Structure 1
Amino acid sequence: MSYCTNLDSHPPSSPCCSSKLPSMAPLFFLLLFGQILLCTAVDTINSTTPLTGTQKIVSPGNKFILGFYSPTQSNTASSGSGNYYIAIWYSNIPIQTTVWTATTNVPVSDPTTASFEIATDGNLVLLDQAKNQQLWSTNVSVAPNSTMAIIRDSGSLDLIDASNSSIIYWRSLDHPTNTWLPGGKLMLNKTTGVTQRLFPWKNNADPSPGLFSLQLDPNGTAQYFIQWNKSINYWTSGTWNGVIFSLVPEMTAGYNYDFQFVSNATENYFTYTMKDNSILSRLIMDVNGQIKQWTWVTSTQQWILFWSQPKTQCEVYAVCGVYGSCNANTLPFCNCIKGYSQKVQSDWDLQDFSGGCKRNVPLQCQTNSSSRQAKPDKFYTMAGVRLPDNAQSAAGTSSRECEVACLSNCLCNAYTYNSSGCFVWPADLVNLQEEYRGNGVGTLFLRLAASELPDPKKSKTAIIGGVIGGVAAVLIILAIVLFFLFQKRRRDRTLRVSKTAGGALIAFRYSDLQHVTNNFAEKLGGGAFGSVFKGKLPDSTAIAVKRLDGFHQGEKQFRAEVSTIGTTQHVNLVRLLGFCSEGSRKLLVYEFMPKGSLEVQLFPGETTTLSWAIRYQIALGTARGLNYLHEKCRDCIIHCDVKPDNILLDESFVPKVSDFGLAKLLGRDFSRVLTTMRGTRGYLAPEWISGVPITAKADVFSYGMMLLEIISGRRNADHGDDAFFPTLAASILHEGDVQTLLDPRLKGDADHDELTRACKVACWCIQDDESTRPTTGQIAQILEGLLDVNMPPVPRSLAVLGESPNAINFFSDLSSSQTTQTQNSTTSSQTHSATSGSSQP
């Protein structure tokens, strides 16, 4: 079988033989036969068909390609080194994404002089003919029979016996580089004590192993570690409890994954598979030390981040190298500290910060200068930083004595003095973080050459004295002019803002909102789409001003959509009073909710505990508000982010749904923003992950997860020794002891019928199949007692192992007194759901 040459321009899935055949009959069959050979792609390498140059092999289902690959061809940040590596990548997506490389520290400079072939000993090897050098080998013992290599639709390159394909000597899936594919396993060989590691690329253009790695605990415990330089653990998965790793609760949200941990006499390993093989998913060890799970979304033609650990980049140990400082609030997050610069700039350009920084000017003692003109070193104050590792205690009972102790040691790079005493750093500074508020925060005094810091003793009084006289007169005149302008502007602003008393939607000026919020001084909260500030209108009416981030809509479009949202009014929806749209500045003005969010009032740690009656009132009111958005508006409005933070409470604890207009304002970009947003993943319906179109049933799922939190008074995402709460709730509901699900702070003080009804509703809402979830109108009827509800099955995604019954009936027979009325209500609700509402609010 012949290779399909030039596969880049004619992939196996494309009709590379679609050109018109010549009209000359004698050549017809000859040309047809030649084109068939040209367009036939193979999936194997044997002893007579090595892989070289631009040749490639393709898996039988056209899912993966193996060939020579250059990172410079797919990475615009590369400088174009022209290095090539044997690699496997996806063949059916437009973004070239590798999943495995034959990792070698010596790349191939010219693939036409290299060969990927079966050696005489049966191993698969990479040879550089120009250098007469073997660069890589499978390096396994094989039987004397001949072997061949085959690429599978799983993304694995297998070395098998040529005469018996069931004999597999080696699989790339079991020897991953930076990517862990479904079906692969990271294992600990208990016999040899060897653990497999997942290494990141050194940088975005070099697939050789970096400093970070993921591995199973070599001591035999059922947990994974991420290490720096194979020595320091900075993250653990927690132990396997039979269902998930205890510190990775996100595994319970893996709707499309099946997980398995195996421990036997010879090995420990963890593996996962996809429930739907059409979904592409991969777990990678990132260049900057995080593990990340990516899922391909066909509708957007992009890789979407499902989860990552550690959660913040600065939790990665020594991610910025020596004398580098991490700041989670800036981009790039790595920068050199004062007096230092990048050691290898080209590596930093490729997002490889591990090389760290170098000192710009040597210290006085390092110059070996005895001149009296040599100025002594100084110290630069770095407050509020995470102190570096490897500090050493030193003699000193005051900050001054500690400074002297550091200056007396030429190797000392910094010192700190606190209640625990004096500490110095004679070694390189590693693992610094600025704007840090965790454990180990302090003030670091960084030692620098005198020329790196200004001399405060140098005075320029002569220059300043000559300037003061001329500037003073100008400032006085300017102050008078500004005073009158300010008074005039204040009168105009008061007149404009007071117009809100009429009740109409007001288009505020940005300067007006700056004034009524005291320049955004009192922050009430914030999220993925912006921050909220408290303000007060001239008539003393309290307001909440939401400043939106990342909006790029035009003025006309934004005003039109806000006007539509402004007409959406309901007792359980936060009222929109006005808006501001000046260029990139987009703000929304809402009525102020004195009790804050349900998040603030509900969870442990608060001074008061919400009674069951109030909680039930909040659950019912929220359902009514969502039902209005879904079924009572001209166009169905899907909230897309239902969670306790977005349920606000007025003085009487009446719930009001907020941020319901953001889904409409964000449009197509909303799903992308939501799936990468921190803190709300625990409320996402399965269809967000699978990439199918979102309906109002996605809000129902989020409502169900929130209702479980209202019942229990605890966050679903909390982990520890207890099981994942939604799983526990679904199981206990079947056992009938719903009282154990109630928030212990209520001490059992709850109406048993209401509690049972709420638990059933919550478990129906979080079913995997959206067609089995109730509508928000049906939820409100159930909570009002107008509709009975059957016992729900345990959702399949929460059960994790085993299949749930395919029960899809929500409702039992209605009580005899309300049968006709409730059936009509159900029909009406279902009709509204199907037509997305029928009337303009």
Structure 2
Amino acid sequence: MGPSLVFLLVLLLLLAGGGAFLATAASTDTIVPGKGMAGNQTLVSKNGRFELGFFTPGSGIHYFLGVRLRNMAEYSPTFWIGDRVGVIDLPGVSLEVFADKLYIKEEGVSLWWSSVAGNGSSSSGGGGAAAVLLDTGDLVVRDQGNTSRVLWRSFDYPGDSLLPGGRLGLDAATGTNVSLTFKGFSHNGSLQVDASRRNGFVLTTDGIDSRGVFPHWMVTSEDNGSSLVLNHPDDATNSTEFLQFNLGLISLMRWSDSTAGWVARWTFPSDCKSGAFFCGDFGTCTAGGGGCECVDGFTPSYPDEWRLGYFVTGCSRSLPLSCEANGQTEHDDSFAILDRLKGLPYNAQDEPVATDEDCRAACLNKCYCVAYSDESGCKLWYHNLYNLSSADNPPYSKIYVRLGSKLKSNRGLATRWIVLLVVGSLAVASAMLALVLLCRYRRDLFASSKFEVEGSLIVYSYAQIRRATGNFSDKLGEGGFGSVFRGILPGSTTVVAVKNLKGVGQAEKQFRTEVQTVGMIRHTNLVRLLGFCINGNRRLLVYEYMSNGSLDAHIFSEKSSLLSWHVRYQIALGIARGLAYLHEECEDCIIHCDIKPENILLDEEFCPKICDFGMAKLLGREFNSALTTVRGTMGYLAPEWIYGQPITKKADVYSFGIVLFEIISGRRSTERMKFGSHRYFPTYAAIQVNEGDVLCLLDSRLEGNANVKELDITCRVACWCIQDEDNDRPSMGQVIRMLEGVVNMEMPPIPASFQNLMESEDSGIYSEESWNLRTRDQLTSSRFPSSF
């Protein structure tokens, strides 16, 4: 093999790295004094998932120390470490440990070193220090003689991204206040914990603050709210997530195998109407906040991400500026007017010139000037354009955006031929597309014509649903009637939950019930149906997305952050209002038939919304009951379900009473365990309420932190709701007035079925059948107090 061929092969190998990493010579698993990591080596975590090395962003020439996902280097983001000290000559660079500090050295000169936690004393174990990359992606310097003693960790200096297990806020062990930071050409920002709010944070951009709250499922609050830890994904073995901080926007990114890209699972701000930076650099929010577009002369930087509804990556020039292309000092770049704007973009720089022509010239003379405005004095924008938003109504603002000189077309013969060719191609393509859409429309119209739906529901195509859900890649949960997936509506940034019904026969009945029931109701405490899809045997429902998931995940799980009593009380009130609307305010009384924590969803403010109307029964106002087969969930069923008696809206009231006890106690009412001398929690609760000892019913994790008056009222309401006879239970309208303290309540009696259960327990003959198979003869007829 000749020397020239060898050189060519080596060159190809170097280029194959894509600029991300230069020809890794080898990998190591630890860095100890006297044995550093060379610039073309990597440090690999024990599980093989992460690697530390010197990487370069994009096609730059500088390399920085960072961590990335080892098995997906082509797509992996880089989690930068330290102050981002750039190096060029990788063979002359090394990462070394000396004493108890970590150093980056280039040709023997120290460029960067780690700080030391605690008092800065040297290692006490006598074995010196070592640097190790943990399985979480955290680079730590620790004492070799006492490996539990960490001297420094990269998670305390996370830069602009945070891996699961990483902390924001005060680290009690080191005293470090950890925050995310962003540094751009002329902008900077930070993300810090707001300890005054539960899961709160402050996002600062060039000194301007905006405040938000992380979803409950995303972070875990520690140290009385002074720090937040990013949770691992529920399916951590198959999912990869990280928190990404961009200028003015923060996102939880998740890898999607179906789209081979990173998808934003959560963002703040959540849309372009509420966030100046949502559409990214040179992206503009369309009038009414309908979505993001690139300004003329620019295209999406990452089209795949834009198709998935993640716009923060912004837009890039279609053609470079003349000064960027060839270093000219005299510029012939053009400007395109951008008018009908809602105010001026972010971070304008005042230029002291006298005329409009001087303002234009001032921008042209600075290669980094990207736009100017001469409306009220001369204003220039450098490097970036953020916060572009179209306005519906005047007054309007306008700016002039700088375009590459080649965008000015030469109107010659060749140009005309190109235009004609493009127009002709577009005409043919449009005709073909119109035929395809017409056929699809007629097919979908035929499939959906048998459904009469009231309200403003949207009929989606199956292709739209597939694109919105990333081919059903992000499952939120699964129930008896099908699975629910997270998605983003096509052409918008609206996050939705898509229910894919299963079982053709049952699904058809389920589908008709949900569409006809939910499609015509609107209430703050009822989940909203946005649209549906019919495709062959497929039936799909598109709902608004609830970022905090279902109630059961918050009151029963030890892993979730603790809901305060105030939040629980407001959730109880919200459920009651939603049920009251169904029972008393709809044109037809709607009985839900399956009230349980799994069917209560929580939005980002923990406002409860009742969902899953597949069980619902609609009753005309001339009817007060309906005979049905048993439906619902054992443990929440009213006695009349078990005995085949007529079902009324009071069946929902009973289920609500059981849910109230679970909200109060933080435990399943059907748990088989001892509560004092009782095995069924509602029995124990009814006795304690009558004895006036309600604090013992409160979730022990709250440590008695509750409004005792509200707790007593809520416990009494729960006991009234679970009375044996439906006539002894209050209506949901009465429940609301009781919870709000508008009416006085008498002490509720202990239901007769509970008393019989207590006698069975006392005699030692308790069995599950003594509760589930009780007879109607055992029920009392004590009437509902007239004071209601």
Q: Normalised by the size of structure 1, how large is the TM-score?
A: 0.44
Name the structure, 1 or 2, with higher relative contact order (CA <8 Å, separation 6+). 1
